[in-house]
Amino acid sequence: MRNEKVIDRSAYKKPVKANRLFTFSRKQLCIPYGLFLVMFVVIPLLLIVYFAFTGEDGSFTFSNFIRFFSDTTKLSTLFISVLVALAVTVICLIVAYPVALILSKMKGNVAMIFLLLFITPMWINFVLRAMAMKELLSLLSLPLGNMANLIGLTYDFLPFMIMPLYSTLIKMDRSLEEAAHDLGAGKVKVFTKVTLPLSVPGIISGAMMVFLPVMSCYVVTDTFSGSTGFTVIGKLIAWSFLGEGGTLADIHGGATISLVMLIIMFVTMIATGGFKNENNARGTNL
Amino acid sequence: MVDKTQDKIIELVNINRTFEDGVVAVDNFNFYVRRGEFVTFLGPSGCGKTTTLRMIAGFDKPTSGQILLNGKDISNLPPNQRPINTVFQRYALFPHLNVYENIAFGLKLKKYKVTYQDEKGKQFTKIEKLSKKEISAKVEKVLKMVDLEGFEKRGVATLSGGQQQRVAIARALVNEPEILLLDEPLGALDLKMRKDMQLELKEMHKKLGITFIYVTHDQEEALTMSDTILVMKDGIIQQIGTPTDIYNEPKNSFVANFIGESNIFSGTMVGEKKARFIGSTFDCVDDFPKNEKVDIVVRPEDVVLLDEDKGQVKGKIISSIFKGVHYEMVMKVGKTEVVIQSTVERKVGESVSINIAPDNIHVMAKEFSSNKYDGYITKKNTVCFGDGEFECDVTKLYPGSILDEEGYLITAEGEKIDLTDVDVDVEVGLKDIEISDDADLGGAIGNIVSIIYKGDHYQLIVRTDENEEDFVLDTEDTWNENDRVSVIIPKEKIKISLKQEIKR
Burial of A280 (0-12, 13-18, 19+ CB in 10 A): exposed
Does any CB of chain B come closer than 8 Å to the CB of residue A182? yes
Give CA–CA dist B459/B485, Å, rounded. 15
Q: DSSP 3-state assignment of B376?
A: strand
Phi, psi of B99 (to 5 degrees): -55, -45
Quick check: B59 and A181 CB within 8 A?
A: yes
Quick check: B57 and A182 CB within 8 A?
A: yes
A279 has a pLDDT exceeding 50? no
Q: Left (φ > 0), alpha (ψ -120 to 50) or beta: where does B414 sit?
A: left
Residue B202 shares a structural domain with residue B174: yes
Chain A environment of B178 (Cβ under 8 Å):
none
Does any CB of chain B come closer than 8 Å to the CB of residue A106? no
The domain that contains B235 carries what CATH number?
3.40.50.300
Quick check: A184 and B106 CB within 8 A?
A: yes
Residue B99 shares a structural domain with residue B181: yes
> Average pLDDT for residues A109-128, to the nearest whole number?
84
Between positions 103 and 122 of B, the ones with CB within 8 A of A are 105-106, 109-110
Crossing angle between the packed helical segments A251-271 and A72-105, to the nearest 10 degrees: 40
Ranked by mean pLDDT, the top range of A3-17, A262-276, B365-379 is: B365-379
CATH class of the domain whose range is A80-271: mainly alpha
Judge whether B12 and B31 are in contact, CB under 8 Å.
yes
Q: Tens digits of per-residue pLDDT, A146-172? A: 888 888 889 889 989 999 999 999 999
The domain that contains B457 carries what CATH number?
2.40.50.140
Number of domains present in the structure of chain B: 3
Residue B385 shares a structural domain with residue B347: no
Domain ranges, residue B389: 370-498
Least Cα separation, residue A214 to chain B (angstroms): 31
Cα angle: B409, vertex B412, B414; to 5 degrees: 70
Rounded alpha-carbon distances, angstroms, from residue A218 to A40, A135, B33: 22, 18, 69
Chain B environment of A180 (Cβ under 8 Å):
94, 105
What is the mean pLDDT, run by run of 10 residues, along chain B of 504 residues? 63 92 88 93 90 94 93 91 92 93 92 79 81 92 90 90 91 93 88 88 91 92 93 91 90 83 84 88 87 85 90 91 91 87 90 92 78 86 88 83 81 81 87 86 86 74 85 86 89 84 63
A118 has a pLDDT exceeding 80? yes
Judge whether B457 and B473 are in contact, CB under 8 Å.
no
Kindly identify which residue of chain B lies nearest to residue A183, measuring between CA atoms.
B106
Give CA–CA dist B162/B185, Å, rounded. 10
Residue B394 shares a structural domain with residue B358: no
Of the three residues B219, B248, B277, the one that is the final residue of a domain is: B248
Does any CB of chain A come closer than 8 Å to the CB of residue B175? yes
Q: Kindly state the percentage of chain A with pLDDT values over 90.
A: 27
A125 has a pLDDT exceeding 80? yes
Q: Tens digits of per-residue pLDDT, A47-105? A: 999 998 988 888 888 888 888 888 888 888 888 888 999 999 999 999 999 999 999 98
Between positions 58 and 87 of B, the ones with CB within 8 A of A are 58-59, 78-80, 84-86
Partners of B182 in beta bridges: B87, B214
Quick check: A176 and B86 CB within 8 A?
A: no
Give CA–CA dist B419/B402, Å, rounded. 12
Least Cα separation, residue A119 to chain B (angstroms): 29
**ipTM beyond cut 0.85:** no
Instruction: Please name which of A107, A99, A212 lies closest in space to residue A163, comparing C-alpha atoms.
Output: A99
Residue B67 shares a structural domain with residue B16: yes
pLDDT at B108: 92
Q: Residue B357 domain-assigned? A: yes
Greatest CA separation for chain B: 110
Least Cα separation, residue A127 to chain B (angstroms): 41
Chain A environment of B96 (Cβ under 8 Å):
197-198, 200
Residue B176 shares a structural domain with residue B282: no
Pairing of strands B24-34, B211-216: unpaired
Of the three residues B309, B337, B365, the one that is the final residue of a domain is: B365
Quick check: B171 and A183 CB within 8 A?
A: yes
> Where exactly are the structural domains of chain A?
80-271
Please name the member of B58, B92, B106 whose beta carbon is closest to the beta carbon of A175. B92
Judge whether A154 and A161 are in contact, CB under 8 Å.
no
Residue B151 shares a structural domain with residue B242: yes
Partners of B85 in beta bridges: B180
Chain A environment of B105 (Cβ under 8 Å):
180, 183, 185, 193
A242 half-sphere exposure, CB direction, 13 A CA radius: 9
Does any CB of chain A come closer than 8 Å to the CB of residue B463? no
pLDDT at A285: 35
Quick check: A175 and B88 CB within 8 A?
A: yes
Q: CA torsion angle for B92, B95, B100, B104 (degrees, to 10)?
A: -50
Quick check: A189 and B109 CB within 8 A?
A: yes
Q: Residue B1 domain-assigned? A: no
CA atoms A244, A250, A251, A255: torsion sign: negative
Kindly identify which residue of chain A lies nearest to residue B85, measuring between CA atoms.
A182
The residues, ordered by sequence, that sit 6+ positions from B111 with a Cβ below 8 Å of its Cβ are B127, B128, B129
DSSP string, B100-144: HHHHHHHHHH-EEEEEEE-TTS-EEEEEEEPPHHHHHHHHHHHHH
Give CA–CA dist B428/B385, Å, rounded. 11
Quick check: A182 and B80 CB within 8 A?
A: yes
Burial of B144 (0-12, 13-18, 19+ CB in 10 A): exposed
Residue B349 shares a structural domain with residue B426: no
Q: Residue B19 domain-assigned? A: yes
Burial of A84 (0-12, 13-18, 19+ CB in 10 A): buried
Phi, psi of B428 (to 5 degrees): -135, 130
Residue B361 shares a structural domain with residue B431: no
Judge whether B383 and B376 are in contact, CB under 8 Å.
yes
List helix spans (H) across chain A. Answer: 31-37, 43-52, 63-70, 72-105, 108-119, 126-139, 146-171, 174-182, 187-190, 196-198, 200-216, 218-225, 233-242, 251-271
Quick check: B92 and A193 CB within 8 A?
A: no
Please name the member of B78, B84, B92 whose beta carbon is closest to the beta carbon of A179. B92
Of the three residues B321, B344, B365, the one that is the final residue of a domain is: B365
Q: DSSP 3-state assignment of A137?
A: helix
Q: Which DSSP helix (H) or strand (E) runs through B496?
A: strand B495-498
What global pTM score does this model have?
Answer: 0.70
The residues, ordered by sequence, that sit 6+ positions from A125 with a Cβ below 8 Å of its Cβ are none
Quick check: A173 and B109 CB within 8 A?
A: no
Q: Residue B294 domain-assigned? A: yes
Least Cα separation, residue A200 to chain B (angstroms): 10
Quick check: B92 and A198 CB within 8 A?
A: no
pLDDT at B351: 92
